[in-house]
């Protein structure tokens, strides 16, 4: 379980965290993308950002040059890790990963424009690769079509989606975050297998947190 999005500890996740603002616009056309900005200024011009890649072995730290006004998607891959895998940042999300053993997953970062990530700290015991990519790296979960996965992941929901069906098999914690252009909410947080429906509104991103879980998400 994880520390995620500034005030949530995944070992004791709570929706009592007051939401921040300025999450960026999720657009239906994947060729354009409005980005998270402070609420006191106009959104910056949409632009693509080259993927940023970092590699290492064991524990260490790296600086990121990811633009502070851009929503980023952080993927960490440590296939031979055996012990705790913990990723901390100095940004608004604080911890991005907290797992045990081999890990590969994707989370989002820079959701709080006034607290962008500049430094990432890795706690691991094997060789790893970390990448930060823009919206083009995120697959779209099409309405009426099941999208399956394992572990932490982010999916894009297209315009017109109003509901998701979600099932998961896990012995650990499973959580779902939903993020639109002006809101972000924790819509599921429990331990063990789950089969639920939740109201959402596309276009949006949905993030599954549950590094031990095998899951299926179907938008409608």
Q: What is the pLDDT of residues 54-64, one digit of tens each?
A: 999 999 999 99
Please give the torsion angle defined by the CA atoms of residues 11, 59, 65 and 156, in that order, rounded to the nearest 10 degrees: -40
Q: No. of H helices and E strands in the chain?
A: 0, 18
Q: What is the Cα–Cα distance from 166 to 25, expressed in whole angstroms?
A: 24
> What is the arithmetic mean of pLDDT over 91-108?
93
Which range has the worst mean pLDDT, 6-20, 36-50, 92-106, 132-146? 6-20
Tokens of 34: 């409005």
Mean pLDDT of 97-117: 94
Q: Encode pLDDT of 126-137 as tens digits.
A: 999 999 999 999
Average pLDDT over residues 25-38: 33
Closest CA to 12 of 20, 24, 21, 3: 3
First to last CA, the chain: 29
pLDDT band at 23 (very low <50, low <70, confident <90, very high): very low
Task: Give the chain's length.
Answer: 220
Tokens of 47: 């632009």
Q: Is the dihedral of CA 68, 120, 73, 163 positive or negative?
A: negative
From CA 198, how far away is CA 55, in angstroms rounded?
Answer: 37
Residues 155-202: tens digit of each pLDDT: 999 999 999 999 999 999 999 999 988 888 999 999 999 999 999 999
Predicted local distance difference test score (pLDDT) of residue 95:
86
pLDDT confidence of residue 183: 85
Chain centroid to CA 74? 7
Cα 95 to Cα 24: distance, rounded to the nearest angstrom: 21
Instruction: Average the pLDDT over 136-147 and give the result.
Output: 96
């Amino acid at each position: 379980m994880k520390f995620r999005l500034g005030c949530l500890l995944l070992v004791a996740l709570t929706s009592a965290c007051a939401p921040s603002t300025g999450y960026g616009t999720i657009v239906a056309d994947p060729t354009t993308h409005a980005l998270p900005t402070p609420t006191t200024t106009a959104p910056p011009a949409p632009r693509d950002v080259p993927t940023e890649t970092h590699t290492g072995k064991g524990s260490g730290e790296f600086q990121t040059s990811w633009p502070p006004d851009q929503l980023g998607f952080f993927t960490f891959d440590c296939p031979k890790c055996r012990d705790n895998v913990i990723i901390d940042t100095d940004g608004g999300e604080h911890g991005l990963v907290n797992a045990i053993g081999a890990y590969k997953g994707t989370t989002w970062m820079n959701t709080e424009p006034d607290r962008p990530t500049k430094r990432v700290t890795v706690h691991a015991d094997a060789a790893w690769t970390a990448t930060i990519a823009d919206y083009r790296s995120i697959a779209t979960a099409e309405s009426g079509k099941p999208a399956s996965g394992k572990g932490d992941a982010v999916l894009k929901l297209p315009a017109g989606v109003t509901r998701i069906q979600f099932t998961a098999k896990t012995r650990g914690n499973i959580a779902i975050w939903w993020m639109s252009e002006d809101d972000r909410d924790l819509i599921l947080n429990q331990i063990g297998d789950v089969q639920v429906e939740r109201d959402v509104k596309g276009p949006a991103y949905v993030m599954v947190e549950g590094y031990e879980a095998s899951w299926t998400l179907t938008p409608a």
